[in-house]
Amino acid sequence: MILRIRDLREDSDLYQRNLAEYLNVTQQTYSRYETGELSPSLITMEKLSEFYNTSVDYLMGLTDVREPYKRKVRKDKAI
């Protein structure tokens, strides 16, 4: 699975290490997400979608609509 996270990162003029720090993973792990060598967890995908203000579906290439869906506030965790 190839994600759109590389394009989004480059469009934002960020380095892999910036996103790795945000996600609390190593730069090597983040690089493997971008190349498709490693699949990020659902929690990681949720964090990336929040960071880029888009949907997980967009990150995964399931839709070309970049705008995020309306999010519900969960009682156990505010988003």
CATH number of the domain within which 14 lies = 1.10.260.40
pLDDT band of residue 3 (cuts 50, 70, 90) is: confident
55 part of a folded domain: yes
Residue 18: is its pLDDT beyond 80? yes
Residue 43: is its pLDDT beyond 90? yes
22 part of a folded domain: yes
52 part of a folded domain: yes
Helical H segments across the chain, by residue range: 5-11, 16-23, 27-35, 42-52, 56-60
59 half-sphere exposure, CB direction, 13 A CA radius = 25
71 part of a folded domain: no
Q: What is the pLDDT of residue 68?
A: 74
Q: What's the total number of domains in the chain?
A: 1
Distance CA 29, CA 73 (A): 30
Residue 77: is its pLDDT beyond 80? no
